[in-house]
Chains A and B, each alone.
Chain A
Amino acid sequence: MHEMSLAMDMTRIIGEALGRKAPLERVNITIGPLSGISAESLRFCFTEIARMEGFGEPELVINHTEARLLCLECRTEYEVADFYQGCPECGSISRRILSGREFTVDSVEIDEDSE
């Protein structure tokens, strides 16, 4: 259950960026398929932690990216969320990972009226 400590890191990052605590309407994050994060468990933990830490009940909007891969057989670049899938051009699973590990807090939206 490391999503609980990650949710705490998220509220710490948000608090530092805002310089204060405020009820949030929406929190936008990005998760890659190689981040090792369970989106559902993060959503559950973040909802709890945000409320406890004084950030209200924001909607957590998750942008799920795919991993970018470079086929080492035919040099095609392709994207997958599932690593059982091989190269769409030649079928090979010989490849290098270019991205897919991201886990970022992108932005937050505050509804000033509700403060």
Chain B
Amino acid sequence: MCEETSAKQKVEISESVMSKNDRFAAENRKILRGRGLYTLNLISSPGAGKTTVLESMARYFGGRMAVIEGDIQTRRDAERIERAGCQAWQIETGGACHLDAHAVNHALGHMDLDSDELSLLAIENVGNLICPSGYDLGEDMRIGLLSVPEGDDKVLKYPSLFSTVDVLIINKMDLIPHLDFDVDRAIEECRSLNPDVNVFTVSARTGEGMEEFCGFVESGFLRNTG
């Protein structure tokens, strides 16, 4: 498909830059489905409360859940999950601001996923609202987490993420009395990118709303396996 104009040659390529990641994501999906694992990808800015939400989930799901932790450096978040009672594998990205499907594929090869009890894999992405959004990891449910101290205008500022999430969690609801975060505005803006999004308002610290969210995740994987 070349058109010659004097010495110039134009070569048509038309390939998505994400195609390699998408191939690994499809392979992960096959591996995970094959093992009967329902997979979550948790995305938020640094400190919004991903690990705290996962600690709370670890207490709810126990041995039914395993976790992959993505951080630029350190095993601290994986250790927190292990203390809360779940198997955890830490990916240290060494500078990269997101997880990609290849890194997750590699992690799956190291984890012990054979337990019959295991039905849920939760992946905590690197804290960032932009970079993780284009990388499908092979998840069944993508969760965007927004904490109220960040402000209620963040959804439309980061449409590449919030237009792709299946679930919006608004976390740190215990701090609402001290802030001017407008919950309805955040929800309306998220629905304007994504009319089908499921919304949960929680406090991972007090546990408020967590049981309802965990029940929703549970119905997702029960539907999957049953």
Query: Are these two chains actual partners, yes or no?
Result: yes
| Residues of A that sit less than 8 Å from B by CB | 1-2, 5-6, 9-10, 12-14, 17-18, 25, 29, 33-37, 72, 83-84, 93-97, 100-113
For the residues of A in contact with B, the DSSP-based class is mixed
Given contacts A95-B192, A97-B163, A97-B194, contact A103 B16 (CB under 8 A): yes
Q: Which of B6-14, B52-60, B63-71, B140-148 contacts A (4 or more CB under 8 A)?
A: B6-14
What distance in Å separates the Cβ of A106 from its nearest Cβ neighbour in chain B? 6
Q: In the bound complex, do residue A34 and residue B160 qualify as a contact, i.e. CB atoms below 8 Å apart?
A: yes
**A17: B residues at CB distance < 8 A:** 11, 13, 15
Residue in contact with B11 in the complex, picked from A5, A18, A94, A111, CB distance below 8 Å: A18
Q: In the bound complex, do residue B97 and residue A1 qualify as a contact, i.e. CB atoms below 8 Å apart?
A: yes
| Residues of B that sit less than 8 Å from A by CB | 7-20, 96-98, 100, 130-131, 133-134, 156, 159-161, 163, 188-189, 191-195
- How far is B134's CA from A104's CA once the two chains are assembled, in angstroms? 13
What distance in Å separates the Cβ of B159 from its nearest Cβ neighbour in chain A? 5
Chain B residue with Cβ nearest A115 = B7
Residue in contact with A111 in the complex, picked from B7, B12, B133, B189, CB distance below 8 Å: B7
